[in-house]
Chain A
Amino acid sequence: MPRMMLRKMKRGQSGVIAAVKVGGELGRRIRDMGLVPGTRITVQGRAPLYDPVALRVLDSTLTLRNNEADHIEVDVS
């Protein structure tokens, strides 16, 4: 499974989170919402200006900005 940054993923692409490399408030928020290593995600779409990105995670849809997605590495399937 190739590993890539979440920002680079295309719509419809799925994968499993490999690492979340950020601490502090942002890191906490990301983890609180279920974005932890081992979680399966699918890129559901992007806002009209390509930012933020919408993800399908654990039966819910989350949004995050591209610069926030930069901290997340995904093993793409």
Chain B
Amino acid sequence: MTAPITVALAGNPNAGKTTLFNALTGARQHVGNYPGVTVEKKEGFHVTPAGITINVVDLPGTYSLTAYSVEEVVARDYLVQERPRVVVNIVDASNLERNLYLTAQFLELGVPMVVALNMMDVAQDRGIAINAGRLAELLGVPVIPIVARSNKGTAELMAAVLALAEGTTAWNPLHLSYGEDLDSVLLAMEKEIAAGGFLTALYPPRWLAVKYLENDSEIRARGIGENPAVAAALAQKVQEVTDHLQKTMETYPEAIIADHRYGYIKSILRQEVVVRTYDADRLYTSDRIDRVVTNRFLGPIIMLAVLFGLYKFTFTYSELPVAWLDGFFGWLRELFGLLLPEGYFKSMLLAGVIDGVGGVLGFVPLIMFMFFGIAILEDSGYLARVAFMMDRIFRMFGLHGSSVMAYIVSGGIAGGCAVPGVMATRTLRSERERLATLLTVSFMNCGAKLPVLALLTGVFFASNQAQVMFLLTLLAWAVALLVAKLYRITILRGESTPFVMELPPYRLPTFRGLMIHTWERTWQYIKKAGTVILAISILLWAMMTFPGLPEREQERIDAQRQELLTGYPAEVVQEATEEGAEEEGLSPAAEELLAQLDGLDRLEAEKALEYSVAGRIGRTLERVSWLAGFDWRTNIALVGGFAAKEIVISTLGTAYSLGEVAPEENLSLAQTLAENPDWNPVMAFALIVFVMFYAPCFVTVVCIARESGSWKWGFFAMGFNTVFAFGLAVLVYQAGMALGLGG
């Protein structure tokens, strides 16, 4: 048996590449990453009716084969290094001229190619008739009309692919003419390249020469590594002709090359390939929708409604499955709680493993619903309109119009979640804007911060809690955007990526496409983030548990407990310590004993926490944290909050000897804080500010590391945010106290 042949799918974004890939491979696909970059690599298998297996690789969608975007470099590196047997170039028949620009570049590279003329139905509706046979003749490659959405023509397409695969494997580069000036210099450069054997193992000589003329940074860097002398000679020639063109025509070689490529395409299309029945300026349905949807007044209103709808959809509909999962893990916790003997193993299994796995899976419904919602917006074409409308505002902060989605999902409307928010930045194509967005989305008030904020505002700003909460949402937006701006003028400095972007025609998303989209992204989260999150969860548990109470302390508490028990008559002790004693009507003496025992248990938990690694960290940090008014108890709670922000509350409860406090039922904690003389509105506000902006929870940190492609950014977010938040908190506390607002 021979190895299956490999076929690469390539084409413009929005040409229907993914639809064709799904139609060909069905569920037999695998998503990974190209080495070293965050660009997704999708592979799958297609089995022909004759039983031949074909390995299909979905290359990233590109408009060109330059070195300007990661996608383009990935696509072309794949072609020259992996040398797929056949390239299927998907071309949007309703937008032929622009799509053929990439086709022309494939022809120049010389890859064995079949053109899949997709969306023939749309073209027909628009009154565009295309003579595929004539086009094939003029391009010199097979052209197969298909409709990927309804799987029409894919069998013929694969037959053409197989037929081509059986033929020669040699590449056959097309030589376009770029006009006198460039052609003569190209010829000279080609000679130089061929004579020096310069990179010719990978690239055709003329293609290399054209890339040099186009000022392709990646090829140039490669050339210098290969042979500096030849590289210098080529660069010299390019410089000469560039200067000449600047002087005589005020233009660039790359502009002339593009003009001639389009000229080549136009000359082909003019030879009876395309016949139009309607006027080219005719309004399409899509344009009519845009008249309303991007209207000056209606547009923003509709957009707000849609974004709010996405938010509601994500967080409302996921509530039920989240509750199921919560219930399931609660049940699991209880089950193991009953089955296992007391001890560190039990504690680790419950607090480390079950809570950790529960934590990972708890996000899954959220992520699924969010990606489903985004897939609808993306596949229908609306997302591009959002970017179009919001760009002016977000550009002021060095971001991109598409950033808005990530912020909203993260809690721009209070109560989101930064984990799906970080993952939503995938829709951003430009690297610097994407990084600036994904590093700042965690500043939003996510659902886990809300109970903390609600508790503190409820205690200290009870008279105008709603206003304060609203103010905090605005504060989150302001800080996120300003920090993004700060990043964009410092560590992520650089020109904004050109916005030149396509507004694809509106299309009804296919259910199958939506499902595949949603599932593969969700699965990636489970697979990639899951393991790390479990490990960190266990680590955090250990930090809050070990080394435990020193023997002396333990003995003291045990002695107290013993003393308490011996102080009561035996039947009262029996009554109070029986299984299920808490529920039944007890005698007053037993109740009193139980309350005292409880108090002792809580004291023990508090002491254990104080002596744990986290407690020691909290104590040590007190030396600095008093600047913001935080004592060691608050510090421990904040360390715990790294696991998940709502844990701040339960840890504060333990630290104040209140036992386990559920985030929603925090009356006792609220009362304790209100009565505690160390707490005042200024300190509470400093704490609010700190909780809002300090290190993202570790699930978010893991996602930041995964999505940015480097742990460097995960650690950066932890470090920067904590220092930044502490600075703000100190500012609030010191200014507030100086103004005498501490009461």
Contact = CB atoms under 8 A, between A and B. Distances in A.
A31 B498 contact: no
Interface string B374-403: 000000000010001101110100000000
Interface in B55-114: 63-64, 66, 68, 94-98, 101
Interface in A42-77: 42, 44-45, 47-52, 54, 56-65, 68
B216 to A, nearest CB: 10
A35 B393 CA distance: 26
A20 interface: yes
A36 B500 CA distance: 13
Given A23-B255, A54-B294, A59 B502 contact: no
B258 interface: yes
Interface string A7-31: 0000000100000110101111111
B101 A34 contact: yes
Contacts of A65: 391, 395, 498-499
Give the most central of B94, B295, B499: most A CB within 10 Å. B499
A57 B258 contact: no
A52 B258 contact: no
Contact of B281 (A42, A47, A68): A42
B63 A49 contact: no
Contact of A64 (B254, B384, B499): B499
Contacts of B505: 60-61
B63 to A, nearest CB: 4
A35 to B, nearest CB: 8
A21 B502 contact: no
A57 B384 CA distance: 17
Given A32-B101, A63-B501, A49 B259 contact: no
Contacts of A61: 286-287, 290, 502-505
Given A32-B101, A54-B388, A62 B258 contact: no
B530 to A, nearest CB: 38
B68 A56 contact: no
Nearest to A33: B500
Contact of B97 (A48, A59, A63, A64): A59
A54 to B, nearest CB: 6
Contacts of A40: 280
A58 to B, nearest CB: 5
Contact of B63 (A21, A33, A57, A63): A33
A34 B262 contact: yes
Contacts, number: 137
A72 B434 CA distance: 28
Contact of B503 (A23, A28, A50, A54): A54
A48 B500 contact: no
B499 A68 contact: yes
Contact of A60 (B95, B296, B395): B95
B373 interface: no
B91 to A, nearest CB: 12
B229 to A, nearest CB: 27
A57 B98 contact: yes
B119 to A, nearest CB: 11
A39, A52, A68 pick with most chain B CB within 10 angstroms:
A52
A49 B281 CA distance: 25
A58 B92 CA distance: 12
B171 interface: no
A63 B296 CA distance: 16
B563 interface: no
B152 interface: no
B294 A36 contact: no
A62 B296 contact: no
B296 A48 contact: yes
A62 B499 CA distance: 10
Contacts of A54: 290, 294, 388, 503
Contacts of A58: 95, 97-98
Given A33-B63, A63-B503, A47 B98 contact: no
Given A62-B502, A64-B500, A65-B391, A48 B299 contact: yes
Nearest to B496: A65
A63 B193 CA distance: 39
A59 B498 contact: no
Interface centre among B391, B392, B497 (most CB of A within 10 A): B392
Contacts of A60: 95, 98, 502-505
Contacts of B497: 25
Contacts of B166: none
B709 interface: no
Contacts of A30: 498, 500
B237 interface: no
B244 interface: no
A60 to B, nearest CB: 5
Contacts of B706: none
A16 to B, nearest CB: 12
Contacts of B395: 65
A51 B68 contact: no
Contacts of A37: 259
Contacts of B258: 28, 31-32, 36
A62 B500 contact: yes
Contacts of A52: 388, 391-392, 499
B250 interface: yes
B391 A29 contact: no
A27 B262 contact: no
B393 A49 contact: yes
A18 to B, nearest CB: 12
A31 B255 contact: yes
B383 to A, nearest CB: 13
Interface of A: 14, 20-21, 23, 25-40, 42, 44-45, 47-52, 54, 56-65, 68
Given A29-B498, A33-B502, A62-B501, 16 more contacts: A20-B255, A25-B498, A26-B500, A30-B498, A31-B258, A32-B63, A33-B500, A40-B280, A45-B291, A45-B294, A48-B294, A52-B499, A56-B281, A59-B95, A60-B98, A63-B388
5 contacts: A32-B101, A34-B101, A64-B501, A65-B391, A65-B499
Q: Which 3 A-B residue pairs are closest in the complex by CB-CB distance? A: A31-B258, A49-B392, A61-B503
